[in-house]
Chain A
């Protein structure tokens, strides 16, 4: 009997074993990450805004993955940091040319998660793409347009582009220009508009809304109303209040002005030779003679 015979359950191919271990470690990390993410969402969904909780969950998830890759997967595969650096230098050059935009999107995604100019659930305008942020992934940002369309914007474009975040500040202002007739009482109109703004629950007490005559136009006295609202409610208020103002002004015999031109007709025909003459009433009489 040969005593040196070893009974082993391990596969004979070490590379197969290493790869299996690496896959198991990554799978384990994914399961742990997902479990923690689900736990966080269940436990804190009432306490955090959806975007914040999503960001925390993702940060924890990717951190677990990175730790497992750095401290378990790479050592199991026998890869050392120094060799990675050397290999990384060569591979980096190749990848840099081959996948410039992918790496750009990845890095932009990381910076977006750190800087957080946008969060999930916020209403934004990214380079003309308006909508609600649905997700901020590593490579792209997902937006649900106001028309319900799915928009995927590469993170590089998001990071380097102009972003307008409509709800980042807690309060915002919107303006109305309300043109009334010259024959109407502007002071009365201002009083009515102020009362309507004051009566609306979502118009803020401070900063105070302003209502004033802004322009004496060609066809109207233009009253400007500058109204502050909570950022989450401004659009509702904007769409509600204007029509209420219009109806209430009309109920008080104040009409919204529209472009018009008053024409004065002479009593008789005017000869072409007299075109440059005085067209006042006395001038007309002189021409007729």
Chain B
């Protein structure tokens, strides 16, 4: 894995940006603003705007939007199971998939107009078909310190694992709710900070913290904002760890 500078940030119109095999073009023509996303030379998406946006923003967003908004949960499978001793608290680092959001600035603020991902998209079932939930799936190694990753594809998730119950707990999967995700970025890293509290050998609670993993990072706009129904940012993993 290599750490490289990303292109998150604000850009003026017109701009053409290349992100691996994806080309983003925003230009003005005949008093309209055009947004175009090409993948390997083929146009994937094209929008025409009637508003006079002078700039747009590229930010990392919650990895729940492509290929389709099927779920608001993300399951990260650990390549090697994590054994958490009784009464211990340990900080680990894992990776999560990043989706790239394009925002236009309007009078109502930043508005998301497109999301794409350079990563593999995969889903999984957490629990049983009758009472489980579909989750976005990702597999990660466990690192003792923040790994170096391509921040256009992956982010670093700092997880504080707290085991206050009397048994050693084996953690193979961690499930998060997108409604709690707080994504921060700088020119090299995309990050989130979360906590995993074990309740028993089979049950745990996950939540996100509104902090970056290091100072100076900028917060990304949240697409999944807790609302009337999705009021909690926590997720109770009651179908096994």
Contacts and interface: CB of A to CB of B under 8 A. Distances in A.
Q: Do A and B belong to a common assembly? A: yes
Interface of A: 43-44, 46-48, 168-172, 201-202, 204-207, 228, 230, 232-233
19 contacts: A44-B228, A44-B229, A47-B227, A47-B228, A47-B230, A48-B229, A171-B125, A171-B129, A201-B67, A202-B123, A205-B77, A205-B124, A206-B125, A206-B126, A207-B129, A228-B125, A230-B134, A232-B70, A233-B70
B228 A204 contact: no
A205 B229 contact: no
Nearest to A207: B125
B137 interface: yes
A43 B68 CA distance: 24
Nearest to A168: B130
B133 interface: yes
Contacts of A48: 229
B229 A171 contact: no
A9 B132 CA distance: 65
Given A170-B133, A202-B123, A233-B68, 11 more contacts: A48-B229, A169-B129, A170-B130, A171-B125, A171-B132, A201-B121, A201-B123, A206-B124, A206-B126, A207-B129, A232-B70
A47 B122 CA distance: 25
A204 B124 contact: yes
A43 B228 contact: yes
B235 to A, nearest CB: 16
Contacts, number: 51
Contact of B122 (A168, A171, A201, A207): A201
A204 B125 contact: yes
Contacts of A230: 70, 123, 134
A44 B133 CA distance: 22
Contacts of B123: 201-202, 204-205, 230
Contacts of B137: 205
A43 B121 CA distance: 32
B134 A170 contact: yes
A47 B132 contact: no
A166 to B, nearest CB: 12
A232 B67 CA distance: 14
A178 B67 CA distance: 28
B228 A170 contact: no
Contacts of B126: 206
B110 to A, nearest CB: 19
Given A201-B67, A205-B137, A230-B134, A170 B227 contact: no
Interface string B104-144: 00000000000000001111111001101110010000000
Nearest to B132: A170
Contacts of B228: 43-44, 47
A89 to B, nearest CB: 44
Nearest to A200: B122
Pairs A-B, 7 closest by C-beta atoms: A47-B229, A205-B124, A201-B121, A169-B129, A171-B129, A171-B125, A206-B124
A205 B172 CA distance: 14
B227 A46 contact: yes
Contacts of B230: 47
Contacts of A43: 228
A206 B133 CA distance: 11
Interface in B125-165: 125-126, 129-130, 132-134, 137
Contacts of A47: 227-230
B229 A172 contact: no
